[in-house]
Structure 1
Amino acid sequence: MHEEELAEIVENLRLVGSDVSDVEVKKAEGGLPRSARETLVAFANTRGGTLILGLDERSGFTATGLSDPAKMSSDLAAMCAADIEPPLRPHIGIHDFEDVTVLVAEIPELPAHRKPCFSRGAGMSQGCFVRVGDGDRKLTSYEVQLLLANRGQPREDEAPVPGTGPADFDAALVTAFLARLRTRRPYAFSELDAVSALRRAKALVRDENGADVASVGGLLALGSYPQEHFPQLMLTFVHYPTTDGADTTTGERFVDNVVAEGPIPVIVRDALLVVRKNMTRRSVVHGAGRADIWQYPEAALREAIVNALVHRDLSPEARGTQVQVEMYPDRLTVRNPGGLFGPVTEDRLGEEGISSARNAGLLRVLEDVPLPGGTQAICENRGSGIRTMINALRAARMSLPEFKNRVSTFSVTFPNHTLLGEETVDWLKSLGEHGLSESQCVGLAILREGGHLDNQTYRTETRVDSRVATQELRDLIARELVVQTGNRRWARYRLAPALLPAADAAPITGPRRADRRREILDALRQGERSRLELATATGLTDQTVARWLRILRDEGLVETTEENVRNPATRYRRTGKIALGEDGEM
């Protein structure tokens, strides 16, 4: 870690006023604290992180230093190697910081096939931790089992269900399923009878006595009533009257409370019906007109519900937990047991080529099982369900969902408001900025609503990649629409002060952007200058100067003294062409 990056980390901690999810600070006045072991384990089990020894959080992250940093480094390395399983190999550095010496250890996240990480002294059942907020939380025995199961491909969906057989399947679903199999995969299924085809699809498996019984996945996908064997493998819908749940003033616990049972195709159909019954319609701006749409786009809801039912944990420990859909006045949440599986992470959801299935057998069956009364298969959008969800929300001009991944649960929450509503669209038009991308408009709308942005949040909310996010945020800075605080990993973005209305004042609606041509040209009157020199002379940011230099070059008003315009040291000068309106010269 560079000294500048350490300074930025500490500056951010002082600004926030507490540790953050990927940085932990300890004073370590009396030697290496035992609690460091929990933090090391938690970082390795979550997303990695940085441990800083020699700062005092209680005194505002004052740099107190270490009396013997070399011994501290040796003790920390020994703890990582001898006290933690699997052993960790963090990058440990000793730094001079604010006239004292501190120690910085950077701990990478362990790959899934090596988790869980745990303290050897406490053992796996008691010594596993994850990072939650600014603290370390001990994992439950169920969460530990999940991490162990995620080392390979879970097979709970292929487990036999004793006491079942072909008679437990829904005849209509089986008929539709086999017809699609024989049409779409004739090489593997066209010549097989019904039982043989169900065996090959793993909907039927052999029990310990060699008899044909339904698999867990087969029963959930095709069974006439799976809850006879698994009472809690269902979906519950609750519509709460207030944002906090029950209405304490009237005693009203819920507006609606419904249980959806049956095979997954029936649960999906019934869940969508009950959500639609509880939704209202809203008016949004589309071009020159308006359109009435549902409170939440049905395509987005469908993908969220299907994902929850298909990718939920099916291990015996989780079979007592149902998929939950909760509607509040300001949001709707879909939650399932079991976090994300495989290489998928929250910030990579929806990316091309990023897909992983906890219940691969169940998913494969549902690719050929249609919704009751329709022809579209339940999992027809395999690998693109999240993108379908996002596209549906964008088309409705709504905020993108919030994904929360925990070891034992995964949830998606849809905010109940139109991010790009009529007022916001009018505000964006009033800025007078041409060429803004849709993702830039979304970013500005988030900031206008009081949200915050960093590079990761921008990528998550707009679903653009890191390269595009960096370019678009730089362009917003250059346009003087946002300002940046911090650098690199600690960079944060907020609306430019000129876009913020005064307290109790109406929002700014008039043109706001200054034309910076005159300032750049005036600064070049004294002769050739580099971009940095122009930024110093005008008081503008480097990005803003670069933007207006491009415009002036395109207009033929300035030129470079060399070919490489990407070099910050490249110098610029005025041309002989006169800019219209410049001090009476034109």
Structure 2
Amino acid sequence: MEPFELEEHLDRLRKNRKDDKTIEVKSWSSSPSGEESKSFWESLSAFANTNGGYILLGLSEPDFTPVEGFDSQMSIQFIRAGLNPQDRDGQKVEPVPHHEIKEITVDGAKVVVISVSPLDVNGPCYYLPAGINNGSFKRVGDEDRKLSNLEIYELQNRFVQTKIDRNPVPDSSIDDLNNQLVTLFKQRLIETGSRSIGTDDNWLLRKNITASNGELTVAGLLALGSYPQQFFPGVFIDVAVHPGLHKSPIGTSTRFEDRKICEGNLLEMVQEAMAAIKRNLRVRRVIEGLSGKDVLEIPEEVLREALANAVLHRDYSELAQNEAIHVDIYKDRVEITSPGGLPNGKRPESIMDGYSEPRNRVLSRILMDIPWTHEVQGVLAESNGRGVPRMFNLMREAGLPVPNFKIDISSVTVELSRHGLLDTQTNEWLVEKLGPNFSNPQGIALVLAKELGAVTPRDLRNQTGHDSEDMQNLLDDLVDRQILHQSSKNQYHLASPAVSVSPSEQAVLDAINGSTPVTIREIATITGKTTASLRPLLRSLVDAGLVIATAPPSSRNRAYLKA
């Protein structure tokens, strides 16, 4: 951390008057010991086990000013001794994370900055005197919280390719398989020319559905079993519909508006979860050609992909088997949370890289040959790394924010927004402008024109993923329908009401948008006109109802919005 970066961080801390998820500040005495020393090593453990961060020594809270008498050199010697893996008696944490120790001047006094990198080896990083179970921490906001047993397990195996899905399930047998699904699965293997189907009856063993002792594997039972919950009662999908924007506190009268516990094999669980989600989301009727179809507010393919990812990549280890996949439906979003962090050392920033890193390789290969349904083409999991980028593109095409992934040590949550074109007020406005059977790109074009003041073919292409020429034709069609107005080569505005305006008035209209008020001086800069010549034009547009003034004529704060 450079001095100028430290100043930026300190400005934020002083404004909030507390630490945060990135920085922990400690005053420290000249020779830290006891709780003071223990607290430092716990914070270092927490940053190493999460996303890294900084520990600042020699500043007092909540003003974050230098501590009188702080000995920076003695503190540096103390920290280096505790981070020396060659000194087993003095070492305080294991494993030692990558770090950097610097002395920086703040308000004329020396402070110490320790930069801690996230672990790039199996962990967890823990405070040795307390032991791994009591000395392992994670950073949550401005706190250091002790890791759960599951979180410790996840960090111990983060850079290991686990083989849990290959393990046999005690007391299981082929009698626990769903014969109808097994038939469909085998038929697909035959149709695709799989070499696992030989002249003998050992194809279940070759596909790792059964183990060598005749018992079913974890993957085989989950993917093709008749009722896996007999062996794994905690492995299910819990779909809950909440009445507001957050989970209702325990004890309130209405905790759920709807709830469905989805059991069976993985395909059945996903199918039941999809039905429960669709039952609780809005739909809109769209006419395509001579027929119509119901369009879900969150694209169905996005939901299927998110659920398939959840059942494929979740942790099926013994510690995680009591953790269900949770689907929480709120008024503004859907959250799908699966047990287990990112596998095989994958980092959050690499989610969109197009490479698949399956935690469960045997299960992944089986799900590649399980067909969805008769109504939905394809297989339960393609496992080619293109699923997440496809989700992003489909959400953009629907006029929705892209998925938001929240990564924790022992869970992954994908957040899917419901605030798109089917938001009630937005949809009503679009129906008024376009009629009830508008397409998603048409709706997105108008929403962008309304929110940005103007829309271009490039804006529409970036949002929908469609070809630029097609988007240009769509915008031109909206101009022909007098829904949009083209003010320049690539600028399209919402058309004004059918009121005759002069060229000068139109130039003023083009300089005003419907979301951000602009002052007369800003309009003068955009149009090149003087404020004196603009006043009668603006007065005429206000009188015609085409422009809204935000304050009385005598107010210095008067600005203008397009009606």
TM-score (structure 2 length as normaliser): 0.72
User: SS state of the match for residue 211, structure 2?
Assistant: strand
- 1:191 matches 2:198: yes
1:306-337, Cα deviation, whole Å (9 max, x unpaired): 11111111111221222121212222111121
Q: How does 1:85-100 map to 2 (within 5 A)?
A: 85-100=94-109
- 1:52 matches 2:36: no
- 1:200 matches 2:206: yes
Partner residue of 1:71? 74
In 2: Cα distance, 1:284 partner to 1:243 partner: 28
Q: CA deviation at 1:91?
A: 1.1
Q: Is the 8 A contact 2:58 2:72 kept in 1?
A: no
Q: Which shifted more, 215-224 or 142-151?
A: 142-151
Partner residue of 2:175? 167
In 2: Cα distance, 1:295 partner to 1:79 partner: 54
In 1: Cα distance, 2:518 partner to 2:224 partner: 57
- 1:426 matches 2:433: no
Q: What are the ranges of 5 or more consecutive residues in structure 1 without an aligned counterpart?
A: 443-498, 519-586
Q: CA deviation at 1:397?
A: 0.6
1:554-584, Cα deviation, whole Å (9 max, x unpaired): xxxxxxxxxxxxxxxxxxxxxxxxxxxxxxx
Partner residue of 1:123? 131
Partner residue of 2:18? 18
Q: Which amino acid aligns with 1:74?
A: Q
Q: Is the 8 A contact 1:41 1:130 kept in 2?
A: yes
Partner residue of 1:485? none
- 1:256 matches 2:265: no
1:135 paired residue among 143, 148, 151: 143
Q: Which amino acid aligns with 2:220?
A: G
- 1:238 matches 2:247: no
1:442-476, Cα deviation, whole Å (9 max, x unpaired): 9xxxxxxxxxxxxxxxxxxxxxxxxxxxxxxxxxx
Q: Which amino acid aligns with 1:257?
A: R
Q: How does 1:436-585 map to 2 (within 5 A)?
A: 507-508=516-517
Q: Which amino acid aligns with 2:157?
A: A
> For the structure 1 residues 71 and 395, does the alpha-carbon distance in structure 2 shift closer, same or farther, using more than 3 Å as the test?
same
In 2: Cα distance, 1:245 partner to 1:109 partner: 31
> For the structure 1 residues 127 and 246, does the alpha-carbon distance in structure 2 shift closer, same or farther, using more than 3 Å as the test?
closer
Q: Is the 8 A contact 2:50 2:409 kept in 1?
A: no
Q: Is the 8 A contact 2:314 2:340 kept in 1?
A: yes
> For the structure 1 residues 508 and 418, does the alpha-carbon distance in structure 2 shift closer, same or farther, using more than 3 Å as the test?
farther
1:110 paired residue among 98, 119, 122: 119
2:46 paired residue among 42, 48, 53: 42
Q: Is the 8 A contact 1:265 1:372 kept in 2?
A: no
> For the structure 1 residues 115 and 255, does the alpha-carbon distance in structure 2 shift closer, same or farther, using more than 3 Å as the test?
same
In 2: Cα distance, 1:515 partner to 1:168 partner: 76
Q: CA deviation at 1:87?
A: 2.6
- 1:370 matches 2:378: no
> For the structure 1 residues 260 and 436, does the alpha-carbon distance in structure 2 shift closer, same or farther, using more than 3 Å as the test?
closer
Q: Is the 8 A contact 1:203 1:219 kept in 2?
A: yes
> For the structure 1 residues 509 and 155, does the alpha-carbon distance in structure 2 shift closer, same or farther, using more than 3 Å as the test?
farther
Q: CA deviation at 1:404?
A: 1.7
Q: How does 1:347-426 map to 2 (within 5 A)?
A: 347-353=349-355, 355-373=356-374, 375-380=377-382, 382-418=384-420, 424-426=447-449
> For the structure 1 residues 440 and 234, does the alpha-carbon distance in structure 2 shift closer, same or farther, using more than 3 Å as the test?
closer
> For the structure 1 residues 119 and 253, does the alpha-carbon distance in structure 2 shift closer, same or farther, using more than 3 Å as the test?
closer
In 1: Cα distance, 2:190 partner to 2:340 partner: 33
In 2: Cα distance, 1:249 partner to 1:79 partner: 47
Q: CA deviation at 1:377?
A: 0.8
Q: Is the 8 A contact 1:235 1:324 kept in 2?
A: yes
2:65 paired residue among 33, 51, 62: 62
Q: Is the 8 A contact 1:69 1:103 kept in 2?
A: yes
Q: Is the 8 A contact 1:236 1:322 kept in 2?
A: yes
User: Matched residues, percent identical?
Assistant: 30
Partner residue of 1:530? none
C-alpha RMSD of matched pairs (Å) = 3.4
> For the structure 1 residues 430 and 242, does the alpha-carbon distance in structure 2 shift closer, same or farther, using more than 3 Å as the test?
closer
1:420-462, Cα deviation, whole Å (9 max, x unpaired): 96674233452578855866999xxxxxxxxxxxxxxxxxxxx
User: SS state of the match for residue 162, structure 1?
Assistant: coil
1:174-198, Cα deviation, whole Å (9 max, x unpaired): 2222233344353x3242534x221
> For the structure 1 residues 62 and 427, does the alpha-carbon distance in structure 2 shift closer, same or farther, using more than 3 Å as the test?
farther
Q: Is the 8 A contact 2:55 2:115 kept in 1?
A: yes
In 2: Cα distance, 1:375 partner to 1:291 partner: 17
User: SS state of the match for residue 245, structure 2?
Assistant: coil
Q: Which amino acid aligns with 1:356?
A: E
> For the structure 1 residues 440 and 56, does the alpha-carbon distance in structure 2 shift closer, same or farther, using more than 3 Å as the test?
farther
In 2: Cα distance, 1:78 partner to 1:514 partner: 66
Q: Is the 8 A contact 1:431 1:513 kept in 2?
A: no
In 2: Cα distance, 1:315 partner to 1:180 partner: 29
1:16-47, Cα deviation, whole Å (9 max, x unpaired): 43322222111224444321101111111112
Partner residue of 2:483? none
Q: Is the 8 A contact 2:450 2:515 kept in 1?
A: no
Partner residue of 2:479? none
> For the structure 1 residues 89 and 344, does the alpha-carbon distance in structure 2 shift closer, same or farther, using more than 3 Å as the test?
closer
In 2: Cα distance, 1:88 partner to 1:381 partner: 33
> For the structure 1 residues 239 and 435, does the alpha-carbon distance in structure 2 shift closer, same or farther, using more than 3 Å as the test?
closer
User: SS state of the match for residue 175, structure 2?
Assistant: helix
> For the structure 1 residues 7 and 233, does the alpha-carbon distance in structure 2 shift closer, same or farther, using more than 3 Å as the test?
same
In 1: Cα distance, 2:92 partner to 2:400 partner: 49
In 1: Cα distance, 2:58 partner to 2:252 partner: 53
> For the structure 1 residues 314 and 268, does the alpha-carbon distance in structure 2 shift closer, same or farther, using more than 3 Å as the test?
same
> For the structure 1 residues 26 and 157, does the alpha-carbon distance in structure 2 shift closer, same or farther, using more than 3 Å as the test?
same
Q: CA deviation at 1:251?
A: 3.0
1:266 paired residue among 268, 278, 284: 268
User: SS state of the match for residue 123, structure 1?
Assistant: helix
Q: Which amino acid aligns with 1:189?
A: S
Q: Which shifted more, 421-430 or 402-411?
A: 421-430
Q: Which amino acid aligns with 2:22?
A: D
Q: Is the 8 A contact 1:431 1:510 kept in 2?
A: no
Partner residue of 1:302? 304
In 2: Cα distance, 1:124 partner to 1:343 partner: 20
Q: Which shifted more, 99-108 or 169-178?
A: 169-178
Q: Is the 8 A contact 1:241 1:247 kept in 2?
A: no
In 2: Cα distance, 1:218 partner to 1:148 partner: 26
Q: Which amino acid aligns with 2:415?
A: T
In 2: Cα distance, 1:6 partner to 1:192 partner: 70
1:323-372, Cα deviation, whole Å (9 max, x unpaired): 1212122221111211221233333322233x311111111110111124
1:527-568, Cα deviation, whole Å (9 max, x unpaired): xxxxxxxxxxxxxxxxxxxxxxxxxxxxxxxxxxxxxxxxxx
In 2: Cα distance, 1:263 partner to 1:116 partner: 33
Q: Is the 8 A contact 2:225 2:265 kept in 1?
A: yes
1:225-279, Cα deviation, whole Å (9 max, x unpaired): 1112222211121222233445999933422221211111111112111211222
Q: Is the 8 A contact 1:198 1:204 kept in 2?
A: yes
Q: CA deviation at 1:14?
A: 2.5
Q: Is the 8 A contact 1:156 1:315 kept in 2?
A: yes
